[in-house]
Amino acid sequence: MKIDAYIGLGSNLGDKRANCLKALKMIDQLKDTEVRTVSPFYKTEPVGVEDQQDWYLNGVAQLATTSPPLRLMKELLAIEKELGRERKKRWDSRTIDLDILFYGNMVINEEALKVPHPRLHLRRFVLVPLAELGPDLVHPVFKKTVRELLEECPAEGQEVVRLEEE
């Protein structure tokens, strides 16, 4: 049985749109996973960083998958590596960042994977595109919809600007 999973995508190095589109193509080529739909992309202010960084391009993809969550995360990490992501320090600039936001309505709390994403409710750059795909999705821990989480999320220091389709 296929599970709906929602993946956050972000890039702030190189050709950001090309990085995200390449990652989506690679995800869609995974054995047990298909990309169902993708939100519009947004230009977003870096959050949680101390050094000066370029703004990000962010979006969310809805996947249909039979891949178990830990295997899916390993596959996403392999795609990040193949696309040139180097993990030097937390919240460093990156060619691509792929996060599992939701995996069905599962709650996973393992060292290698936490789902729903533990900071999802604090990040407009995730909530805005996620609300485009699933405003009525219910966070399995907070029992609130994505729309409600977005309404409660502070906007200061988290500018999110929808990009025109190219």
What domains appear along the chain, each with residue ranges and CATH number?
3-162 (3.30.70.560)
Least confident window among 36-40, 78-82, 87-91, 151-155: 87-91
Could you confirm whether 97 is annotated as catalytic? Answer: yes
**Closest by Cα among 136, 68, 124 to 100:** 68
Percent of the chain with pLDDT over 70: 92
Could you tell me if 112 and 68 are in contact, meaning their C-beta atoms sit under 8 angstroms apart?
A: no
Determine whether 87 is an active site residue.
no
- For residue 87, the model assigns a pLDDT of 65
- Identify which of 33, 32, 6, 2 has the alpha carbon closest to the alpha carbon of residue 99: 6
- CA-closest candidate to residue 133, choices 24, 1, 2, 8: 8
The overall average pLDDT reported for the chain is 93
pLDDT of residue 54: 86
Read off the pLDDT band of 50 (50, 70, 90): low
Q: Is the pLDDT of residue 32 over 80?
A: yes
- pLDDT value at position 94? 82
Provide the H-helix boundaries in the chain: 16-28, 69-82, 124-133, 146-152
pLDDT at 40 over 60: yes
| Catalytic choice (97, 119, 124, 162) | 97
Report, as an integer, the average pLDDT of 8-28.
Answer: 96
Check residue 88 and give its pLDDT: 66
- pTM here is 0.94
Of the residues 28, 87, 99, 147, only one is catalytic, namely: 99
> Of 85, 92, 136, 162, which one is the catalytic site residue?
85
125 pLDDT higher than 60: yes
Catalytic residue among 15, 51, 71, 94: 94
With tokens 């919240």, the residue in question is 91
